[in-house]
Amino acid sequence: MTMKPGLRKLVLSAHLTFSIGWIGTVVAYLALGVLAVNSSDTANVRGAWMAMELIGWYVIVPLAVASLLTGVVMALGTKWGLFRHYWVSISFFLTLFATMVLILHMPSVSSTAQTARTAEGEVLESLGGDLHHPAVGLVILLVVQVLNLYKPKGLTRYGWRKQQEESAR
């Protein structure tokens, strides 16, 4: 089933907005993590962790879920399909993986933010920042973006079979 052009443009606009927003907020989250790691000012460390929790739960998670869902709608509503082309399938699985890791990681961010709210001295200084998850997440998101932009050729077995069935009709 292929979407009508107007609907396709609307869904594509939403998907691009959510995806680009996700990348931008991960960059902001990463900047806060760098601040938490490098700052000796306890107010900065405390504020960075509180902001990372807020941005994570109320911006990054919703954008990730929205990007995943609109991506599935785009794949299923266009000629590309979800499992016909390698680049679409890889993009889907990378986005699904990144979303799952994000959702599973956020409770530890909340726990650290809670500690940061009440901690003092060495405990607060030892919190550091959260750099690994957002850095790897950003790389994954950029790989997905490149795949979606360049759309490398290559059909999956399923895609090849579907193409043969359509040609036989």
Contact by Cβ (8 Å): 46, 116 = yes
Number of domains in the chain: 1
Q: How confident is the model at residue 141 (pLDDT cuts 50, 70, 90)?
A: very high
Range of the domain at 19: 5-168
Q: How confident is the model at residue 54 (pLDDT cuts 50, 70, 90)?
A: very high
pLDDT of residue 130: 82
Give the domain CATH number at 143.
1.20.120
Please list, in sequence order, all residues whose beta carbon lies within 8 angstroms of the beta carbon of residue 165, skipping any fewer than 6 positions away: none
- Global confidence as pTM: 0.92
